[in-house]
Amino acid sequence: SIQQTRGIKTLNFGGSLEKVYERSDWPKQKVLDYFKDDTIAVLGYGPQGHGQGLNLRDNGLNVIVGVRKDGRSWKKAVAEGWVPGKNLFTIEEAADKGSIVLNLLSDAAQRDLWPTIKPFITPGKTLYFSHGFAITYKEQTHVEAPAGVDVVLCAPKGSGTTLRTLFLEGKGLNSSIAVFQDVSGKAHERVQALGVAIGSGYLYETTFAKEVYSDLYGERGVLMGAINGLFRAQYDVLRAQGHSPSEAFNETVEEATQSLYPLIGAKGMDWMYANCSVTAQRGALDWHQKFYDASLPVFKDLYESVKNGTESQRALDKNSQADYRESLEVELEEIRQAEIWRAGETVRSLRPENNKK
């Protein structure tokens, strides 16, 4: 594919020139040679730890995993082929053994376990993050870049689960990269190589702060929070006007996810518009500005809430509660039991591919 054959390029993104890095700049053998003397320690086995760890292992690198012994993540890692004492260790052991330490613990766990991990991040090592959270909000996390080590970031633009799935399909998620501290003078090339090794598509440059600001903003915005709110609002109005749950769901969610959004993903918004009826085109063109005007103030408030640390502090506070998993399940069950998503379960079951005998 084109992506596989191009290398470092400066490309035009909507009128702005940006440098990107692609897999062809780091062929597999070059990556293997580059890291031949390294032990890559993956701390945490949540979505990112799982996805990046398995991809690194499948790419032939010397990878170990560090998690709490005999905990849920430990048992999952064992089930997926990691061997205690060989490439599966406690967090402290893995951090000690690793020359490159991938801190892929949850944001709250990075804060809580930093005093435990920090003594093992000794001069000459590389400390790697996939989120700018801990370093950017250091007043809240107390995670400071240790002296004498390179501190880098590679942030896949999606979940670790998707990163793994696409890797197995020969594809890749795009990732942002950043260097916070370059002691060796080689931090930038090292994070490029790591980005390719974990299964990224192309890599683009950012900073730790910009990564976490855009990430938290996007998740609360159109990626998750805003889209859920818009789906609910449209569905509720249709139901209040007498439309059936099936019709309301199809006109709100099913058509979006199965028909229209894939067109946007393939060739852009204009392509989606061009492949709809004249009536649909006219309505969308007439109404999109009204939605823009209505939502812009909300998005401005959201970005400020992210930038000033309100969102990060709330996330840390909530995630640190002893009953967080239980309270989260209550919130998810509320979504699950909402009529819109119960209707969606039935709609999905009727898709031809889900109804094969």
- Cβ atoms of 114 and 139 within 8 Å: the answer is no
243 is catalytic: no
Structure tokens of 90?
């406690």
**Orientation of helix 47-58 relative to helix 160-168, angle to 10°:** 30
16, 2, 18: which is closest to 177 by C-alpha? Answer: 18
Joined tokens for residue 222: 């159109």
Candidates 82, 85, 110, 106; CA nearest to 97 is 85
> Is residue 52 within 8 Å of residue 163, measured between CB atoms?
yes
Q: Largest Cα–Cα distance in the chain?
A: 67
**CA nearest to 207, candidates 151, 162, 127, 141:** 151
Q: Which residues contact 90 (CB under 8 A, 6 or more apart)?
A: 66, 67, 68, 69
Catalytic: which of 131, 142, 188, 243? 131
Q: What span, in angstroms and rounded, lies between the C-alpha atoms of 181 and 153?
A: 10
Residues annotated as catalytic are 131
